[in-house]
Amino acid sequence: MVVLSVLLVLSDIYSCRSGQLKTGSTCDNDDEEVEIAIDNAAFMDEFFSQIEDIRNSIDKIDENVSEVKKLYSVILSAPTSDQKTQDDLEAVTNDIKKMANNARNKLKTIERNLESEEEERISADMRIRKSQHAVLSRKFVDVMTKYNEAQLDFRERSKGRIQRQLEITGKATTDEELEEMLEGGNSAVFTSGIMDSGISKQALSEIEARHKDIVRLESSIKELHDMFVDIAMLVESQGGMIERIESNMDQSVGFVERAVADTKKAAKFQQEARRVSGNKKAQVPPPGLSSCSVDQHLLG
């Protein structure tokens, strides 16, 4: 039996080209349609629904990361901390954490299911699911890496602001000394050592605000650390599979188009054969194009 699942997964992976993922249809624009039976259709529909949910979560995280970057810039450009901006930042970072945990849990569930079924069956839909899981895991790590880089950049720039304010008061510090001061985590303890240095109230206020920003930021980084490492290790183990998917991308699009064309030729021949032989079913496929060869083309 010809399995359309192969077409479905490639249509999904290359959705930027085809703009569609339709169960039971091809990406061909011809009016003529060929009906092809789908193995495990209901199960794969559910799987693709899960994949779409994960993809939407990752896309939303990516949008929120862009918003976080804007809020970081607003905070760094202001001499004093604005409570509304801080509240907006907290809301967006909480959304990122919630959606990231949701995406991670769903990816881990798919991973466990694949591991439990791998020894029992080797099929086209198994290869499809593994490929989809690998691609989305990589995409998830990419967007979380982008978020982590934004956090680290904000920390360094906040630390730089503190260092400059200290230099203005004549209390210059090295990176190592400033890191030791920041590690305390307590704003009162942090500022107690510089209050006697003749620092202005405004400068002290900014130092305290930047210190609080860094403390909140480090708490957020720690919360996401284990989850990030977990998925990053998974992607590293899938490195070979992801590279194969990426390197075969262009070849596969053309391959699917040829496979669909071959399938249509086979269907057309069968229709002509039925008209010639009446009710008798066609037994012999056209030269060079057997139903078996079509299966082999699609299943690779």
* Domains defined for the chain, CATH in brackets: 1-39+256-300 (no CATH), 51-247 (1.20.58.70)
pLDDT in the model for residue 26: 45
Rounded mean pLDDT, 224-228:
76
Q: Among 45-49, 145-149, 252-256, name the one with the lowest average pLDDT.
A: 252-256
Q: How many CB atoms sit inside 10 A of residue 160's CB?
A: 14
Tell me which amino acid residue 124 is: A
User: Pick the residue with more confidence: 38 or 222?
Assistant: 222
pLDDT category at 163 given cuts 50, 70, 90 is: confident
- CA distance linking residue 166 with residue 161, whole number of Å: 9
pLDDT in the model for residue 120: 60
pLDDT in the model for residue 9: 38
Rounded mean pLDDT, 45-52:
89
Q: Among 43-52, 114-123, 151-160, name the one with the lowest average pLDDT.
A: 114-123
Q: Among 16-30, 98-112, 273-287, name the one with the lowest average pLDDT.
A: 16-30
pLDDT at residue 153 tops 70: yes
pLDDT category at 51 given cuts 50, 70, 90 is: very high
- CA distance linking residue 297 with residue 271, whole number of Å: 21
**Whose CA is closest to 85, among 94, 98, 72?**
72
pLDDT in the model for residue 292: 46
pLDDT in the model for residue 227: 76
pLDDT in the model for residue 202: 72
Tell me which amino acid residue 5 is: S
pLDDT at residue 16 tops 90: no
Cβ–Cβ < 8 Å for 148, 97: no
* Contacts with 8 (C-beta within 8 Å, 6 or more apart), sequence order: 21, 23, 44, 48, 128
pLDDT per residue over 104-141, tens digit each? 999 989 988 888 776 666 677 788 888 889 899 999 98
SS3 content of the chain, % helix, strand, coil (to 5): 80, 0, 20
pLDDT category at 242 given cuts 50, 70, 90 is: very low
